[in-house]
Structure 1
Amino acid sequence: MWRRVASVSHLFSHSKSTKFNQGASTFKIWETFTSESEIPTPSKGSPFVTFVLGGPGSGKGTQCAKIVEAFGFTHVSAGDLLRREIASGSAYGSVILSTIREGKIVPSQVTVELIQKEMESSDNYKFLIDGFPRSEENRKAFEQTIGAEPDVVLFFDCPEQEMVKRVLNRNQGRVDDNIDTIKKRLEIFDELNWPVINYYSQRGKLHKINAVGTVDEIFEKVRPIFAPLSK
């Protein structure tokens, strides 16, 4: 079912991204195309993929855990996969570590290969892919490699001040949980994530979630999106 990706050793060169004008007009475009359409009916013969987007500290991982418990998805965290690769001591791991410390995005094909392997090793067909894609390059690499678009895209919309506070308070010992790296990650999110959000808005796949409130309050905004999967 899955196509194997080619060697990615040549992909660790940093390419300059075109700066995205994150202004008021961008938000209006996104609002215009935000979709509240129903999710497609999943089939056990092919993967049912949900992308989970949002800035650092927006609560993606916490809400993914709730979705897994309620609806039986497999949670695939792009960040966790990269950190696992770092911990493995592989050749890719050291390069990934330096990239993350600089607040940059790991080359697309590297992350896609790790995600693909994780999906291939699962017996489930419903996946939450958390924290990916983070750029248009990420999005295209995933769709070209996997050969399909996501079925649903969740966007956890959270004020920057709240995200910074949450990341600093979680104290998980992660290399990217410091104020300087957080600021860089937020800048990159503003520059690169909005084109992805707009793209999936126009495709009728995006569901915007107000990510302010308690964990349970936020999940009650998520639950109706996946309620058809309980039937």
Structure 2
Amino acid sequence: MAEIPIIWILGGPGCGKGTQCAKIVEKYGFTHLSSGDLLRNEVASGSDKGRKLQAVMASGGLVSNDEVLSLLNDAIVRAKGSSKGFLIDGYPREKNQGIEFELRVAPADLALYFECSEDTMVQRIMARAAASSVKRDDDNEKTIRARLLTFRQNTNAILECYEPKTLTINAERDVDDIFLEVVQAIDCVLKKKQQNAAQC
């Protein structure tokens, strides 16, 4: 795994992570793994595990780290041979998840934190929900505010713990301006990886 970059993508719901991840995938050909999508896919499969996960998610709670980590690890193992890099989107959601991930899967090379005000995120999620033909149970203002509160409390601890490898990006700007900053950070990681590979 050492030669394949692993990048954590952090930021509250509605901060624009998905948009930036799509642009990164297009430019670099990385594998985008969203913990939320992996969970929703499991729920959609109708399995026993999926039904249990749905109950937790509908209440705005956090699914156990063990469940999320095993879904992520399986997805990484499946894609490892063909992937140029991994974007781990929406994970870790708390400090211990980061520690567990680095122990069980691999150390992250970079954490990109898309910083956005709570009001902006609520507006964006409500607009996304209104425009979507698929209604998500968790896209209502009460659940969104609950998610944001949990997110803020946990994220501060993650940012402190992983400060040396975290880049905080102002996510209230134009999409392309944000992406320029993302590209600089990823190019820097790739350069370091190549230098390390050359030294081996």
TM-score range, shorter chain: 0.7 to 0.9
Are the equivalent residues in 1 in contact too, given 2:6–2:110 (CA < 8 A)? yes
Query: Aligned partners of 2:121, 2:108: CA distance in 1, in Å?
Result: 25
Unpaired segments ≥5 residues, structure 2:
195-200
Query: Aligned partners of 2:98, 2:24: CA distance in 1, in Å?
Result: 23
Q: Partner amino acid for 2:125?
A: V
Following superposition, the deviation at residue 153 of structure 1 comes to 0.4
Q: Deviations over 1:38-76 (max 9, x none)?
A: xxxx72xxx321000011111111101111111221100
Are the equivalent residues in 1 in contact too, given 2:35–2:89 (CA < 8 A)? yes
**Aligned residue number for residue 198 of structure 2:** none
Using the size of structure 2 for normalisation, the TM-score is 0.87
**Aligned residue number for residue 53 of structure 1:** 10
Query: Aligned partners of 1:157, 1:227: CA distance in 2, in Å?
Result: 21
Using the size of structure 1 for normalisation, the TM-score is 0.76
Task: Name which of 97, 115, 121 aligns with 2:72.
Answer: 115
Task: Name which of 58, 67, 71 aligns with 2:24.
Answer: 67
Are the equivalent residues in 1 in contact too, given 2:28–2:84 (CA < 8 A)? no
Matches within 5 A, 1:190-205: 190-201=152-163, 204-205=164-165
**Aligned residue number for residue 181 of structure 2:** 221
**Aligned residue number for residue 143 of structure 2:** 181
Higher normalized helix content (fraction of residues): 2
Q: Does 1:162 align with 2:120?
A: yes
Query: Aligned partners of 2:137, 2:159: CA distance in 1, in Å?
Result: 27
% identical equivalent positions: 41
Matched residues, number: 185
Secondary structure of the structure 1 residue equivalent to 2:162: helix
Following superposition, the deviation at residue 78 of structure 1 comes to 0.5
Q: Partner amino acid for 2:149?
A: E
Q: Deviations over 1:142-188 (max 9, x none)?
A: 12321x32010000000111000011111242222111110110110
Query: Aligned partners of 1:183, 1:216: CA distance in 2, in Å?
Result: 28
Following superposition, the deviation at residue 193 of structure 1 comes to 1.6
Are the equivalent residues in 2 in contact too, given 1:71–1:226 (CA < 8 A)? no
Unpaired segments ≥5 residues, structure 1:
2-41
Following superposition, the deviation at residue 107 of structure 1 comes to 0.2
Q: Partner amino acid for 1:71?
A: Y
